[in-house]
Structure 1
Amino acid sequence: MIAILQTKFRLLLKKPLMFIGMTGMGLLFAFFLGMGQYSKMMVPVFSNIENLEKTEIWEQLQESESIAFYIVSEKEAKRAVSEGKVEAAVSLSEDSYEIFVVSGTPNVQFIQHYIHSIYSDILLKENIRKEWKNDEDGAEALINQLEQVRENPLFQIQTGTFQMENSFVYDNRLQSLFGMSLFFVIYTIAFNVVHILQEKTEKVWDRMILSPLRKWEMYTGNLLYSFLIGYVQVVLIFTVFKYLTGVNFYGGFGKTLLLLIPYVFAIIALSMFIVSVVKNIQQYNAIIPFISVSMAMLGGAYWPLEIVSSPILLTLSKFVPITYGMESLKGATVYGASLNELIEPVSILILMGVLFISLGIGLIERRSE
């Protein structure tokens, strides 16, 4: 088995284009579908406040994760709004603000609410300092108490959990990253597993059987190599997006690496089953793109299953490994589920893997007799 792995990795080093290509495609598609669609709302700002960049107002405006405020002249800001380049422009003064818009939109309301909350907070602090002007220490203590109350409120409202029905949390970047990674790794795994069919067709296995190698070692070596290549590809994509592009995994990055294992195993088993039912490599090469694209569409790799309303499509999705791969990965990240809460999708993937690999090896051996 070790000899097979060594041979496979040597061949990979000689011809790495397949692995590099699929990894690159996964990175590009995840970036353009996820990161490319994610951008901050641009809002021009003009003001008569001197040194605006050094004020508390500007510091709080820059803390927004959804809005990018930038300073321009009044003429440039109003022209950008009138030409439709931006949805709104903001005029700032010491104790008030004014928003210039062409038409009211939900984004305008969001901008107004955000700026209003900043001014309310700043004016509240100023009023406290005015009322306590003879006791500056007391004023600052009261302001600090208000900050602590905001950070640690007495009451918390829970709007949804992983187990709640109809609870739907959507993160476009993770949706695209997970979907494209799970989709493209199918090709990497499938076109490595097909080497079993190719070697059996070319009678390579007949010659290997004469060696000290046992048949289970030949199967294990080929499948373990396919697993390592597929797993490394997805881990590499996840790592690039976490550490180079700053995608938020909500503290579940380590869990996602563990949850990839049953998914990769299920895809290897499915590929093994397909190898066992096709007659030749040409049929295999033709059917893999059809199956992979169909699974991606049904399993929620292209779009979240939560927006699908067709009972037929939802029923079909329950027979697709990508469905449970996406469920477990999103559960570990955006829903903050523990590994124990994800036992169901993981168990289904393992069950699929055991079933497909058993059927696949059984059919291959029967055809070889």
Structure 2
Amino acid sequence: MNIIQAHAEWNKNSQNKWFWTENGQNSIGWKKINGQWYYFSDNGEMVTGWLKGHDGNWYYLLNSGAMAIGWFKDYNGDWYYFSGSGAMVTGWYKDYDGNWYYLLNSGTMATGWIEHNGGKYYLEDSGAMVTGKKTIDGKTHEFDSSGNLIKTESIENNSSFVKEENRTAYIATDSCPLNLRDQPSMNSNIIGSIPKGMQVVVIGKETNGFYKVEWDNTIGYISSSWVSFEKKNDFSSNSNNSTSNLKVTLGEMRTSAPSRDSHYYYSDSNLFYKVKLSPPFTNSSGKPIVGNCTWYAWGRIWELTGQKPTDADFRGNAYEWWEANKRTGKYKYGTTPKVGAVPVWKSSLPNSGGCGHVAVVEKIENGKVYIS
């Protein structure tokens, strides 16, 4: 009797691509190796990043190639949850501790206020749904056992309420508007933007590097690093920015389309789509981050189509933003250009899935496609 010994091993080619070889043959499709699941493309290459399975579910393969299970935090700081089968979860999810979470259509874990099936819910920064009473922005809210909001009352009705001191202050950014957030945290939701030099009312003392402020009949939180209690003479817009294409006063939302005589439509500090369409974000030190193509595409699509492409938000690396929009299932994609569509560049970057920089189709004329 001849005994044939089975042999299986990992192999890496000259392009640093990994393969799982069994008896000289590369594995294809799903393969369980040492208790973990991996996926290999038709040519046997190990897949990493997002993967849409033949069952229509989305999966995430870690840099090691292993399929993600349970909670996973991506490069943008967004949380996702994957079931025991590896399928990305959307909608309501209850963990072993009895906490409820809500995963958006893109799979991202929701925080803050959400509305669902006619009900209003509040989710902690951890994503856990609130029940019972909780004070949010100076008001006491009461939620039933299912998390649905049933009552709201002002904390001012409480005899222990102490009136906070109000002070006049000014936005002292370099040039960009300052993010207005719903909580004193860099991870909280952005509810607006305040242009440089604008006067605000600071309510109370600094908390966690943020001031609670009132501006334009809205109460929120802004980074204390960009607040001045003295009005300076240099609050006018920075003249070093390239603004020849703006056709709008800095600090205001543009109401007309950009001139198509220009070769491109942007400013050096990402100021072209002001306030509503492309609010700047800040890094961990409070400095504005400028120049993200996804913000531009998000705002320009809104102008061209009249619809806000909000499903995948407007943050993140271009390839992640592109894939997140595809995962919602609400957008068509193909090779035929259309006005208002998003063209995507090919990319060979690791984990990019072959997708890179994004832009917007402005017009199609005489067989030529014009993008911005």
Structure with the larger strand share: 2
Indicate whether the TM-score tops 0.5. Answer: no
Higher relative contact order (CA 8 A, sep 6+): 1
TM-score when scaled to structure 1? 0.19
TM-score when scaled to structure 2? 0.18
